[in-house]
């Protein structure tokens, strides 16, 4: 059972300067603002606002640029091939017993080309959470499925993110099979010295990071120019 505000299917959907909000509070559990399985879709200057499970990037190729995505638990989740570029990921105050997790990527098979790539983004707390970051843990992500894959690169990570960075889903589930990477991030939450020691976690170099750029990960140079949306194709 899922409650959502909007759903997008079909090829080539483009949204500009659109706000979608699910106003169900944190006590209502899953409350999706947008569910999208539109291939070659673009979201520019949009805001997706909610609490748990705000943005359901369900499947296929997706590009987000200069958007704001706000929520609490797993607020960017799904199994799309998505690049999120120059966006603000805004963690909100959950229930007192809960832990925030920005992502919950759902790759099920090692042969899938799916995953989430965040580049030039800002991971911060909203005003409500900022007063409680010492008592409310926030993490970059946790593995929804066995081969969960998320890369965060060249982004600002605020002090809301705990030093270990990433959160288990359930015990040792997927810790050997997931792929979580960080590359050239900055900000008080970005140091990797005290990150999790899971086999699937990596501090990556430029060669690996290049696999998750707009050009290489979603083939953006082949289809984004026709949308008129600005983007950075590589690591610079």
- The domains found in the chain, sorted by start residue, are 4-222 (2.160.20.10)
Q: With 60 as the cut, is the pLDDT of residue 236 above it?
A: yes
SS3 of the chain: helix, strand, coil, percent, to 5: 10, 35, 55
For residues 3 and 82, which has the higher predicted lDDT (pLDDT)?
82
Active site residue 208: no
- pLDDT value, residue 31: 87
Helices assigned H by DSSP within 29-183: 127-130
Q: How confident is the model at residue 3 (pLDDT cuts 50, 70, 90)?
A: low
pLDDT digits (tens, 9 = 90+) for 178-194: 999 999 999 999 999 99
Sequence-distant contacts of 56-62: CB under 8 A, at least 24 apart:
56/4, 56/32, 57/82, 57/116, 59/114, 61/218, 61/219, 62/36, 62/38, 62/218
How many CB atoms within 10 Å of residue 71?
30
Position 194 scores a pLDDT of 98
Return mean pLDDT, the chain. Answer: 96
Per-residue pLDDT of 14-71, as tens digits, reads 999 999 999 887 766 788 999 999 999 999 999 999 999 999 999 999 999 999 999 9
pLDDT higher than threshold 70 for residue 4: no
Spot the catalytic one: 37, 39, 53, 74: 74
- Give pLDDT, residue 1: 42
Percent of the chain at pLDDT > 90 equals: 92
pTM exceeds cut of 0.85:
yes
């Amino acid at each position: 059972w899922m409650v959502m505000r909007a759903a997008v299917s079909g090829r080539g959907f483009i949204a500009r300067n659109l706000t979608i909000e699910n106003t169900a509070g944190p006590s209502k559990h899953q409350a999706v603002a947008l569910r999208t399985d539109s291939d070659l879709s673009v979201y520019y200057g949009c805001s997706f606002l909610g609490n748990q499970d705000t943005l359901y990037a369900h499947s296929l190729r997706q590009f987000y640029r200069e958007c704001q995505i706000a929520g609490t638990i797993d607020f960017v989740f799904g199994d799309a091939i998505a690049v999120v570029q120059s966006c603000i990921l805004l963690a909100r105050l959950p229930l007192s017993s809960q832990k925030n997790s920005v992502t919950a990527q759902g790759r099920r098979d090692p042969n899938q080309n799916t995953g989430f790539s965040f580049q030039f983004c800002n991971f911060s707390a909203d005003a409500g959470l900022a007063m409680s970051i010492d008592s409310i843990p926030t993490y970059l992500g946790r593995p929804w499925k066995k081969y969960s894959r998320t890369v965060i690169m060249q982004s600002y990570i605020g002090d809301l993110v705990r030093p270990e960075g990433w959160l288990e889903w359930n015990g040792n589930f997927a810790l050997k099979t997931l792929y979580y990477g960080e590359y050239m991030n900055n900000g008080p939450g970005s140091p990797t010295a005290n990150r999790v020691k899971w086999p699937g976690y990596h501090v990556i170099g430029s060669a690996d990071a290049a696999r998750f750029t707009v050009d290489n990960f979603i083939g953006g140079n082949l289809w984004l120019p026709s949308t008129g949306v600005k983007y950075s194709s590589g690591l610079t």
